[in-house]
Structure 1
Amino acid sequence: MEKKITGKESLELEKNISGKERRKQILELIRQSVVPLSGAKLGQLTGVSRQVVVQDIALLRTEGHEIISTARGYILPAEEKCVSRKFKVYHTDERMEEELDTIVDLGGAVQDVMVNHRTYGKVSAELQIRSRRDVQNFLEQIRSGKSMPLLRITSGYHFHTVNAESEEIMDEIEEALKAKGFLADVLPYEKEEL
């Protein structure tokens, strides 16, 4: 028999986890589930009410996650059922293509790029690079001179969120980036980025 969480216990649990962390947890629960998860079940698993879950789902959707509501609960489209990992990398403009090709050739998709600038703070941009064709299109835009890569404002250091179908693929990507000298050490103040 499942224990019901009282209002008081729910408030205590809500205090112990930030909304951002809870939403990340909700997304991961939906991503890993083979069956739809109801708002009540997600609330029970995360220690909040169904109404809080509904609000969190709305916020996740505004962040671009295509969460689908069904009569039996929440699901994600097949392409969102993946694992994500953030990598801190370093390279020059000349090695940008090699870095991106390394990721997509092993089955990864580069979701975004983010720099942690000491004056401007966090600056990020969506990339959605999934293939060598996407890499070439991105590089053409950069080479056209209309804009410059974000990595230039942080001397080559930047983060990528990478998606893949499995942890095994993600581990292969990490090893390849490491072997080619792309991975950079994460500084203590950057730990929250990962």
Structure 2
Amino acid sequence: MKKKQRQADIIKTLRSSREPISGTALSTMYNVSRQSIVQDIALLKASESSYNIISTNKGYILVEPPPRTKVFKVYHSHEEIGDELYTIVDSGGMVKDVFIIHDIYGKIQVDLFLATRADVDAFVMGLEKKKTSPLMKLTDRYHYHTVEAAADSILETIEKRLKEKGYLIMGE
């Protein structure tokens, strides 16, 4: 196994563990010396991604920053729902919800949790299959999405792309 692949696998292993993992356990998993694991951890901490790996007396823990969120007010046609959602997930965002502010009923919100094109496809097909109307129909196509991403730069990219496509409503 090559060093870069092993380092990627170490991150996956640490990310999926709820408990610290010892250097010895990692060296056994990846069939390398404990010293190689120590070097891998040092390189991962110093990498461009600068992983926040904490060394404890019980082993290594990956501490990930909490995701960032931003609310986008958007406007588009029924036919553009898929494209709008693809724009968000293709840019690295996860659409947590959709909500509207109705003049009579106030805020109406529905959780979505769309993170991939497959999620978007299933959502759009559900709208078509059940012949149901999206919430935006109640507010003349205006609606909001809470979007989650790993970094502010991803949210900035999403905002830029939504604006380029004419979906984003600015200044509110």
TM range (shorter): 0.5 to 0.7
Question: Which residue pairs with 1:106 in the alignment?
Answer: 91
1:160 aligned residue: 145
Q: Does 1:137 find its partner at 2:137? A: no
Q: Distance in 2 between matches of 1:121 and 1:164?
A: 27
Letter in 1 for 2:84: E
Pair 115,166 (structure 1): closer, same or farther in 2 beyond 3 Å? same
Residue equivalent to 2:82:
97
Does 1:118 pair with 2:67? no
TM-score by length of 1: 0.54
Deviation of 1:145 (Å): 2.6
SS of alignment partner, residue 124 of structure 2: helix
From 66, 69, 82, give the equivalent of 2:67: 82
1:15-34 alignment to 2 at 5 Å? none
State how far apart, in whole Å, the 1-side matches of 2:114 and 2:153 are. 20
Bigger relative contact order (CA 8 A; separation at least 6): 2
What is the CA RMSD across the aligned residues, in angstroms?
A: 1.9
Q: CA deviation at 1:119?
A: 1.1
The offset of 1:156, in angstroms, is: 0.5
Q: 1:157, 1:94 → 2: CA distance?
A: 14
Counterpart CA distance in 1 for 2:133 and 2:63 is: 33
Deviation for aligned residue 1:148: 1.6
Q: Which secondary structure state, in structure 1, belongs to the residue aligned with residue 167 of structure 2?
A: coil
Instruction: Output one character per residue of 1:102-125: Cα deviation in whole Å (capped at 9) or x when no partner.
Output: 000010000000000101111010
Q: Deviations over 1:4-26 (max 9, x none)?
A: xxxxxxxxxxxxxxxxxxxxxxx
Amino acid at match of 1:149: P
Q: Distance in 1 between matches of 2:129 and 2:63?
A: 35
Unaligned stretches of 5+ residues in structure 1:
1-76, 188-194
Question: Highest Rg: 1 or 2?
Answer: 2
Closer, same or farther in 2 for the Cα pair 1:157/1:146, shift >3 Å? same
Say if 1:151 and 1:158, in contact at 8 Å, map to a contact too: yes
Partners of 1:105 and 1:131 lie apart in 2 by 7
Q: Percent identity?
A: 41
The answer as to whether partners of 1:88 and 1:186 remain within 8 angstroms in 2 is no
Normalised by the size of structure 2, how large is the TM-score? 0.61
Distance in 1 (CA, whole Å) between partners of 2:79 and 2:103 is 24
Change over 3 Å in CA distance of 1:91–1:80 after alignment to 2: farther
CA shift in 2, pair 1:144/1:183, >3 Å: same
Give the total of aligned pairs. Answer: 111
Deviations 1:114-169 (A, max 9, x none): 00010111101000000000000001110013532001110100000000010011
Code of the aligned partner of 2:108: V
The one-letter amino acid paired with 1:170 is: L
- Residue 130 of structure 2 aligns to a residue whose secondary structure is coil
